[in-house]
Amino acid sequence: MSAATPAAMNARPAVVALQAQDFHRVWPLVRSVLAGGDTYAWRPDTTEAEARALLTTPPVRLFAAEDADGSVLGCYFLKPNQPGLGDHVANAGYMVAPDARGRGIASLLCAHSLDTARAAGFRAMQFNFVVATNTVAIRLWEKHGFAVVGRIPDAFRHARLGPTDVLVMHRRL
């Protein structure tokens, strides 16, 4: 890989849709986020096959933010929050590579997911499981119009902190 030009380093990342066969591109990122045991309820030792099924089996759609050189900076999934009579509300989850944090990638992904959900006909978006100690994410979701609509005591077994509350966040589209 050649060194990026200054223009390429300052270029806005592109958000692209991924297919199941592209999952290998985001797997290192997904694996590193899950291994932390501090933001996702999925087991830290979730296998690549399990994660691929969770993130690419329809109706789930997977998107990635790519740098100018094609490297994956972050990803998100979008799906109906519930089947049937609850399928007009979207659900999404976001992951950003540790070395890409602080660059606005999560905000870019959130804005893209809101636009994508709106275009797909969803009427609202709900996050069911925001770990209460993930204050950076909570502030970001609030910046994007989400409000805390519920708190579930001790619903998450945080890898370092033990039982931790979980928030439910929601916004209309």
Q: What is the pTM of this model?
A: 0.91
State mean pLDDT over 115-136: 97
State mean pLDDT over 103-122: 97
State mean pLDDT over 32-45: 95
User: Which CATH superfamily, name and number, covers 6-125?
Assistant: Gcn5-related N-acetyltransferase (GNAT) (3.40.630.30)
Of 10, 4, 5, 74, nearest to 39 (Cα)?
74
* Res 11: pLDDT: 63
Q: How far is CA 116 from CA 46, 48, 53, 74, in A?
A: 27, 26, 21, 16
Show me where the domains of the chain are located: 6-125
* Res 2: pLDDT: 41
State mean pLDDT over 105-129: 97
DSSP for residue 120: T
